């Protein structure tokens, strides 16, 4: 596949279309970061910088941060922020899915939204807000950490603590 004289793989061609579809120019840094995100769902920015620079040493960390910001702004990537952890990035967007987070090692897994449409939970009292989104984080211990045993962490094996981390909405005027 040829585009502007550069040999592109099928995957790169697909990503180039995705970038153009949201009004972003197709650049090597953007393609590289999309590559990294595809390989490492729920990676933090530092991990993405390291991986992107391993493939393209000329990329500056600032360039990678800039790409991440642009991808999130245009809806090609999603940024999640589990409490106490750095922001994590993923390509799975716009499906209202939620996350399981391991308290011990920070492992993150996707959970399909039971309802599939935002907001999937109704607050007992909306306090006059119009709620348009509910992000749910299920905290617990991943399988590996249950096997390893985690003294000091008072979560029974298999238990998942539920917390509706955040609801966002605009107040009614
Ligand atoms: Zn774990
Ligand atoms: Zn996810
Ligand atoms: Zn849901």
Q: What is the pLDDT of residues 65-115, one digit of tens each?
A: 999 999 999 999 999 999 888 999 999 998 889 999 999 999 999 999 988
CA-CA-CA-CA dihedral for 93, 100, 88, 43, to nearest 10: -100
pLDDT band at 164 (very low <50, low <70, confident <90, very high): very low
CATH code of 9's domain: 1.10.10.10
Which residues, 6+ apart, have CB-to-CB distance to 122 below 8 Å? 131
Backbone phi, psi, residue 74, to 5°:
-90, 0
102 three-state secondary structure: strand
Which residues, 6+ apart, have CB-to-CB distance to 171 below 8 Å? 128, 129, 130
Instruction: Note the ligand closest to the C-alpha atom of 164.
Output: 3
Residue 154, pLDDT above cutoff 70: no
Residue 160, pLDDT above cutoff 70: no
In a domain, 121, yes or no: yes
pLDDT at residue 151 in the model: 55
Query: Both 76 and 118 in a single domain?
Result: no
How far does the centroid of ligand 3 lie from the alpha carbon of residue 79, in Å?
16
Range(s) of the domain holding residue 112:
96-171
In a domain, 124, yes or no: yes
In a domain, 89, yes or no: no
Query: Both 12 and 67 in a single domain?
Result: yes
Instruction: Note the ligand closest to the C-alpha atom of 157.
Output: 1
How far does the centroid of ligand 3 lie from the alpha carbon of residue 6, in Å?
42
In a domain, 85, yes or no: no
């Amino acid at each position: 596949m040829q585009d502007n004289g550069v040999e592109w793989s099928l995957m790169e061609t697909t990503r180039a279309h995705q970038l153009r579809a949201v009004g972003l120019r197709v650049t090597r840094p953007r393609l590289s970061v999309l590559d990294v995100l595809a390989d490492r769902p729920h990676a933090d920015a530092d991990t993405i910088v390291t991986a992107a620079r391993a493939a393209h040493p000329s990329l500056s960390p600032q360039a990678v941060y800039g790409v991440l910001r642009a991808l999130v702004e245009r809806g090609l990537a999603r940024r999640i922020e589990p409490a106490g952890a750095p922001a994590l990035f993923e390509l799975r967007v716009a499906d209202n899915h939620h996350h399981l987070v391991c308290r011990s090692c920070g492992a993150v897994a996707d959970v399909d939204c039971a309802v599939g449409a935002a907001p999937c939970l109704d607050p007992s009292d909306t306090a006059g807000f119009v709620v348009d989104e509910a992000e749910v984080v299920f905290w617990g211990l991943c399988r590996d950490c249950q096997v390893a045993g985690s003294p000091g962490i008072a979560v029974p094996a298999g238990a998942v603590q539920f917390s509706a981390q955040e609801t966002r909405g605009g107040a009614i005027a």
